[in-house]
Amino acid sequence: MPNDLRTLSPEFSIDEAKTTADKYYGLNQFICQLPNEHDQNFLFHHEQSKFILKISNIDEIYSVIHMQNRAMEHINNSIKRISLANYRPHTSKLIFNLEKLRGQIDKSLMKFKDECAKRDIYWNIINAEYIINKYKNLIIDKNHRQIIENILKDWIEIVVTLFSSLRQSIIHNDANDYNITVMDEDNINLIDFGDVSNISYK
């Protein structure tokens, strides 16, 4: 059963984040606080670049934090750095470039190894059956719930049987709307490596 962080996220105020960023990193131009499930992210501007101050959950294991930092350093050394900026409307070109970036990141991480990535978190796709069965009753609309159950049935009968034959690699694993930042159609970035983990894929 997944054993992800279920504790409350840190409660640093914006003023505390500003003080910390200025004291340790010389960042003093605060932009905004970014959404996060169990950590805190604060976006800062400095000269021509933007930086994120991340406050990790107090229950996070140090070796996992170290693994996340190593993964980001690995990607920075193998993929051209992309500037952060505020989100822009979706276009076909933007979506294409986003998926291209995700592919580049995951391809880069194929050469990245860390034992901490072999962890049992909720968002590891191998836990899909467990998560759906645990929470599907929270879906009030019966038709919607039936759709989920049908997808789960296909998942078990088709995908799960292939797991043993699939390659495994570390991937970013959390490209949701809150973790995608956009300057324009050609300048996209992924943030928050908190769910980096070893996943089966083909």
Q: Are 105 and 173 in contact (CB under 8 A)?
A: no
* 3-class DSSP assignment, residue 16: helix
Burial 100-115 (b: 16+ CB within 10 A, else e): ebbeebbebbeebebe
What's the CATH code, domain 62-201?
3.90.1200.10
Residue bearing tokens 């159609």: 185
Per-residue pLDDT of the chain (202 residues; tens, 9 = 90+): 455 445 667 889 999 999 999 999 999 888 888 877 788 889 898 887 888 899 988 888 888 888 888 887 877 776 654 443 455 567 888 889 889 988 898 888 888 888 877 877 777 888 889 999 999 999 999 999 999 999 999 999 998 888 888 888 888 888 877 777 777 777 787 877 778 888 766 5
First vs last C-alpha separation in the chain: 24
Domain ranges of the chain: 1-60, 62-201
